[in-house]
Amino acid sequence: MATKSTASAAKKTTKKSAKPAKNLLIVESPAKAKTIQKYLGYKYEVLSSKGHIRDLPASRLGVDIEHDFTPEYIVPRKDGKSALLKELQAAAKNSRAVYLATDPDREGEAIAWHLAEMLHLDEQAPIRVTFNEITKRAVNEGIATPRTIDKDLVNAQQTRRILDRIVGYKLSPFLWHKVKRGLSAGRVQSVATRLVVDREKEIEAFIPQEYWNIDAWFHNNPKKYAARLVGDANGKLTVTTKEQADRILSDLKGAEYKVTNIKRQEKQKNPHPPFTTSALQQDASVHLNMHPQKTMSVAQSLYEGVDVAGHGLVGLITYMRTDSLRVSAEAQAAAKDYILDIYGENYYPRVPRVFKAKRSAQDAHEAIRPTDIRLTPNAIRNSLSNDQYRLYKLIWERFTASQMAAAVYDVRNVEIGAVGYMFRASDTKLRFDGFTKLYHYADDEEKSVLPELDQGQILPFDTLTAEQKFTQPPSRYTEASLIKALEENGIGRPSTYAPIIGTIIERNYVEREGKTLKPTVLGNVTTELMIESFRDIVDVNFTAHMETQLDKVEEGQTTSLSVLKSFYEDFEKDLQKAEQTTERRKVELPVEESDVVCEHCGRNMVYKISRYGRFLACPGYPECKNTKPVYTEAPGNCPKCGGKLVVKWTQTGKTYYACADNVNCKFMTWDIPQKESCPKCGGTLFRKFGKVYCLKEGCGYVGEAPKGRKEKNAE
């Protein structure tokens, strides 16, 4: 007979073994995992793959060209991927069902496929879950309607990855041999660099053309207003010399100025559509002075979830990598209710707005919008960092305005005649503000400068002015205008715009000068060589054609193998010819000295360029071979070893923080280090979801983050 304690233990064991297994949901990001876990509750375990679980090897080509371009995938040793994979495999083995909820795009689909392979899941089973926004409704709907992995999407991602790997690994050694060791080439980065190089050549070759503006000024006590000369008896008139301007001024001496025509019209101005990825990056660059990589990092945090006071973890915006302008019926209805409640029925259009995207747009996702329009920027400001608040405000206002009524203007164009010459003046008065009550564009201001005028009226002349002008060269690209050019030319896709620009700057092909981009000596020489030997690689139309081919792979209209074979056949011929015929270019790059002292020999280290970007090297090479990576320093110190913290970025532009001594210390975190020290132990505090906490072993301090603080990540 069992004792009472034995029976009790047996009862506990039976109860424990009867505990039902949970469902496992795997996402890409730890932050997203935490938000989704809140929505799904105890029946699900939500884990993160932390991006790609496997990839092509970094040290070799990793593509078997002779056997149908078969990729060789490995689980990287760095970043703890092997240990993470074991953790995911163990969790999958002990789960009732496994679902893969990586991002809803090509890259996310490929990560899901890699996970399915490594976790030995049935790819034909409905294991793939997607949602365009991380809200409780969207997550539950996604879980309720799983699908199989879309192999066409996976094939499109693999094709792009293999193309980029072939170009990078085949061209980089060629550039080392012909230009400078350490250089790299990329299929899309090379054509982006060429755009910047070609624009600089246009600027250098530009010849200014002289022209003159002639204005007639009239009294409107106590102010004055002007009308510009636009024509004469022969029609439109352009004044190109001082002699011509002086002759016209002489003709008009003592002339009478009469209103010959007044044209009045109503002009409606419709709001812009909600943001696509490229439009968001452009506006954030122009209005918020945010680099594209920073924009995408902040947008990612808003998408994955923020701890909002009174609401808990909330995904605040829809998926931020999209070129679609579609808005769901539910979001339109919510916007209508909000606009009617706050602004009244005059501010809502008679018919809900539908925006047409360009033909090449992928319509899998909606445009970028707030997940809940009632969560206004001001209402949740104290729960957001300064950058999150500014970007969320931009997104929220743009979307809300896009659903509002048009602004209405009264436009008046006045023509004024004088001895056979024609002058024109115009003004604009706002009759109904419409969407501009919320969201203003640069050209929304009223231009009401003219008094009431009647046809035939003789005007009170004051003076004539003639101003010499010269035509201006095209402007250098900014990050915003380069993104626009990439999109307009069909180069890259929403997920690649920020990494493209980051890469060409990091690898010193292009540099920032103020807000503009200009090519470096290295960028000019490399582009010249590429045009000479690999014209297709740096050809805008060819690159756009390759993007179209990748889209066709995604749509199942062509195969990955046919695209790769077609590309490689010509590429290999060009490479062989270039190796034999291209002469070596000697590039003298300016040496940029740093203030970092080499700890081995005491010299000031200098900046060098490798295929991975800038690094610090000792100028005493080869006697001293000391090198260091170049990173932006972050506030505080590493909680593990006490070393400096630095800012790093993932390939998709997401910001994270790591120990500068990445050889001996593997500390990293997604959470933002603070300038303030821990009040308990003096260590560095980190901020996450409105809390600050200390990571120093044995401390455990957690506190509230300061409300409404202006907090900026390093860029």
Q: pLDDT digits over 388-413, tens only?
A: 999 999 999 999 999 999 999 999 99
The average confidence (pLDDT) of the chain is 89
Alpha helices in 94-150 (DSSP H): 106-118, 136-144
Q: Assign 634 a pLDDT band (cuts: 50, 70, 90).
A: confident
What mean pLDDT is predicted for residues 10-21? 51
**What does CATH list as the number for 281-401?**
1.10.290.10
Q: Would you call 319 a catalytic residue per the annotation?
A: yes
Query: Is the per-residue pLDDT at 7 higher than 60?
Result: no
pLDDT of residue 482: 96
Query: Is the per-residue pLDDT at 106 higher than 50?
Result: yes
Q: Assign 227 a pLDDT band (cuts: 50, 70, 90).
A: very high
315-352 per-position pLDDT tens digit: 999 999 999 999 999 999 999 999 999 999 999 999 99
Q: Give Cβ neighbours of residue 671 (< 8 Å, ≥ 6 apart).
A: 657, 686, 687, 688
Q: Is 499 helix (H, G, I), strand (E, B) or coil?
A: helix
Query: Is the per-residue pLDDT at 251 higher than 60?
Result: yes
Contact of 414 with 426, CB cutoff 8 Å: yes
Tell me the CB-side half-sphere exposure of residue 482, using CA atoms within 13 A: 34
pLDDT of residue 181: 78
Q: What are phi and psi of 624, to 5 degrees?
A: -120, 120
597-626 per-position pLDDT tens digit: 888 888 888 887 665 567 888 988 888 988
Q: Which of 269-273, 359-363, 569-573, 687-691 has the lowest mean pLDDT?
A: 359-363
Query: Is the per-residue pLDDT at 569 higher than 60?
Result: yes
Q: Which of 217-226, 546-555, 668-677 has the lowest mean pLDDT?
A: 668-677
**What does CATH list as the number for 210-270+407-470?**
2.70.20.10
pLDDT of residue 712: 41
Contact of 122 with 115, CB cutoff 8 Å: no
Chain-centroid distance, C-alpha 11: 57
Between 654 and 48, the more confident residue is 48
pLDDT of residue 425: 96
* DSSP class of 705: P
Q: What are phi and psi of 192, to 5 degrees?
A: -65, -40
Q: Assign 709 a pLDDT band (cuts: 50, 70, 90).
A: very low
What mean pLDDT is predicted for residues 226-245? 95
Distance from C-alpha of 32 to C-alpha of 138, rounded to nearest angstrom: 13
Cis peptide, bond prior to residue 673, ω within 30 of zero: no
Q: Assign 2 a pLDDT band (cuts: 50, 70, 90).
A: very low
Structure tokens that stand for 571 in this block: 């590429």
CATH fold of the domain at 163-206+476-581 = Topoisomerase I; domain 2 (1.10.460)
Q: Assign 589 a pLDDT band (cuts: 50, 70, 90).
A: low
Beta bridge partners of 635: none
Q: Assign 713 a pLDDT band (cuts: 50, 70, 90).
A: very low
Q: Assign 700 a pLDDT band (cuts: 50, 70, 90).
A: confident
- Per cent of the chain over pLDDT 70 is 92
Q: Give Cβ neighbours of residue 484 (< 8 Å, ≥ 6 apart).
A: 278, 282
CATH fold of the domain at 18-149 = Rossmann fold (3.40.50)
Q: Where are the domains of the chain?
A: 18-149, 163-206+476-581, 210-270+407-470, 281-401
For residue 308, give the nearest of 297, 319, 317 by alpha carbon.
317
pLDDT of residue 710: 42
29-86 per-position pLDDT tens digit: 888 999 999 999 899 999 999 889 999 998 899 999 999 999 999 998 767 889 999 9
| Residue type (1 letter), 563 | V
pLDDT of residue 15: 44
pTM of the model: 0.80
Catalytic hit among 319, 389, 497, 657: 319
The owner of tokens 């980065």 is: 189
- Per cent of the chain over pLDDT 90 is 64
Two domains, one topology: 18-149 and 163-206+476-581: no
Alpha helices in 469-516 (DSSP H): 479-488, 497-506
Between 507 and 661, the more confident residue is 507
| Residue type (1 letter), 577 | K
Query: Is the per-residue pLDDT at 363 higher than 70?
Result: no
- Residue 539 zone, left/alpha/beta (φ > 0; ψ -120 to 50; rest): beta
The owner of tokens 């009401």 is: 448
137-148 per-position pLDDT tens digit: 999 999 999 999
Q: Assign 493 a pLDDT band (cuts: 50, 70, 90).
A: confident
Q: String of b and e for 184-214 (b: at least 16 CB within 10 Å)?
A: bbbbbbbbbbbbbbebbeeeeeeeeeebbeb
pLDDT of residue 76: 84
